Amino acid sequence: MNTSLINQKNQTCIDTCNECAMMCEACCTECMSNTEMAGMMGRCMMMCRDCAMMCTMTAMMMARGSEYSKQMCEMCATICDACAMECEKMGNKMEACKECAEMCKKCAQECRNMMR
């Protein structure tokens, strides 16, 4: 199997997953540092951590041409959707949550594109 072809074919999704992981980590950090709202942000922080890990793992598996890439993309899209929904709840109070929700939606769509 030629992994350079797989990597090239999947590069957009790999890049988007990596960007989403970074955005989720930044959002989680921002939520933790906001002492006024930290108590309300528990689920948001947990979803961001799960999403960041899933996006990272999905990008790595696509990069190495794993036979489970499509299944990983499906799970990643599901988690990105859940994270986006949670971040949207706080998006009017925290810009990081709003940006994270948008990135998660973009990543979910890229992952769905890979499942076709």
Domain membership flag for residue 3: no
Q: How many domains does the chain have?
A: 1
Please tell me the distance from the alpha carbon of residue 68 to that of residue 109, in angstroms, as a whole number: 18
Domain membership flag for residue 1: no
Given this model, what pLDDT does residue 36 score?
Answer: 81
Domain membership flag for residue 109: yes
Residue 59 exposure: Cα atoms within 13 Å on the Cβ side: 20
Domain membership flag for residue 55: yes
Q: Model confidence over 63-101: pLDDT tens digits? A: 988 999 999 999 999 999 999 999 999 888 899 999 999
Domain membership flag for residue 4: no
Please tell me which residue, 7 or 67, carries the higher pLDDT value: 67
Instruction: Quote the mean pLDDT of the chain.
Output: 91
Domain range spanning residue 84?
10-114
Look up the CATH number of the domain holding residue 90: 1.20.1270.360
Domain membership flag for residue 58: yes
| H helix intervals, the chain | 3-33, 42-63, 69-90, 95-114
Domain membership flag for residue 2: no
